Amino acid sequence: MYELLSRTLLKINPQYARAMACHATHLASKFVHNRPPESLRRKVMGLEFPGPIGMAAGFDKHGELYPALSEIGFGFVEIGSVVPQPEHQRSRGLEVVAANLMRYSHPHPIPLGVSLSMNRKTPFAQMFQDYLIGMRGLWKYADYFVINLGVRAGPDLHLQENRAALYKVLTNVKDEQRRLNSEHGAYRPLVVKIDQHRGDTNALLCCVRDYCFDGLILGGDKHQGGNQGESNRTLTGLANAVRILSADTAVISVGGICTPQDVANHLSAGAALIQIYSGLVASGPMLPRRINMHLSNTSID
Ligand SMILES: Cc1cc2nc3c(=O)[nH]c(=O)nc-3n(C[C@H](O)[C@H](O)[C@H](O)COP(=O)(O)O)c2cc1C
pLDDT tens by residue, 75-94: 999 999 999 999 998 999 99
Prior bond to 278 cis, omega within 30?
no
Nearest residue by C-alpha to atom 12 in ligand 1: 57
Task: Give the Cα separation of 42 and 155 in Å (integer).
Answer: 36
Task: Give the Cα separation of 75 and 64 in Å (integer).
Answer: 17
Expressed as residue numbers, the domain containing 10 is 2-226+239-296
Q: Is the CB of 220 under 6 A from ligand 1?
A: no
| CATH number, position 95 | 3.20.20.70
Which residue from 77, 79, 277 has its CB within 8 A of the most atoms of ligand 1, so it is best to mutate? 277
Contact (Cβ atoms closer than 8 angstroms) between residue 217 and residue 191: yes
Q: Is the CB of 57 under 6 A from ligand 1?
A: yes
* Residue 233 belongs to a domain: no
Nearest residue by C-alpha to atom 1 in ligand 1: 58
The number of domains in the chain is 1
**Which atom of ligand 1 is found nearest the CA of 222?**
25
pLDDT in the model for residue 181: 98
**Which atom of ligand 1 is found nearest the CA of 146?**
11
* Residue 232 belongs to a domain: no
* Residue 43 belongs to a domain: yes
3-state helix, strand, coil in the chain (%, to 5): 45, 15, 40
Bridge partner residues of 114 (DSSP): 79, 145
* Residue 234 belongs to a domain: no
CA of residue 56 to ligand 1 center, whole Å? 6
pLDDT in the model for residue 222: 61
pLDDT in the model for residue 11: 83
Tell me if residue 271 falls in helix, strand or coil.
coil
Q: Is the CB of 196 under 6 A from ligand 1?
A: no
Task: Give the Cα separation of 241 and 55 in Å (integer).
Answer: 21
Contact (Cβ atoms closer than 8 angstroms) between residue 118 and residue 127: yes
Which residues in the chain come in under a pLDDT of 70? 221-226
Closest alpha carbon to 190 in 221, 156, 147, 138: 147
pTM: 0.96
Contact (Cβ atoms closer than 8 angstroms) between residue 97 and residue 62: yes
* Residue 203 belongs to a domain: yes
Contact (Cβ atoms closer than 8 angstroms) between residue 250 and residue 214: yes
* Residue 17 belongs to a domain: yes
- pLDDT tens track for 120-146: 999 988 999 999 999 999 999 999 999
Task: Give the Cα separation of 272 and 215 in Å (integer).
Answer: 10
* Residue 92 belongs to a domain: yes
**Quick one: which H or E segment has residue 110?**
none
What is the chain's length? 301
* Residue 301 belongs to a domain: no
Q: Is the CB of 277 under 6 A from ligand 1?
A: yes
Alpha carbons within 13 angstroms on the beta-carbon side of residue 126 total 8
The residue type found at 226 is G
Nearest residue by C-alpha to atom 23 in ligand 1: 255
**Quick one: which H or E segment has residue 96?**
helix 94-101
Listed in sequence order, the residues at least 6 apart from 250 whose beta carbon sits closer than 8 Å to its beta carbon are: 44, 45, 191, 214, 215, 216, 272, 273
Classify residue 98 by burial, with Cβ atoms within 10 Å: 0-12, 13-18, 19+: middle
